[in-house]
Amino acid sequence: MKKYEVVIEETCVEAFKFEIPDDVDIYDYVRDLYYKGNIVHKPSECQYRQMEIHNLENDTYSEWVEF
């Protein structure tokens, strides 16, 4: 059997609407919500996927391939 490590990268897109006070920085506000788990993408919203294959036996890597 051959041994591989597969890396999958996804780009997800989803719009979120907010109303915040004028004195609050929108970037800090959204970043905080995101890292607290209050903003979560739906799994079906991924727009782009690619993978890279690492052959562990001979330590070679494939090109990134979209799928």
Q: What is the mean pLDDT of residues 39-56?
A: 90
Phi, psi values for residue 45, rounded to 5°: -90, 10
Domain ranges of the chain: 4-66
Mean pLDDT in the chain?
94
Dist CA 51 CA 31 (whole Å): 27
18 confidence band (pLDDT: 50, 70, 90): very high
- Residue 33 pLDDT exceeds 90: yes
- Alpha-carbon span 12 to 44, nearest angstrom: 9
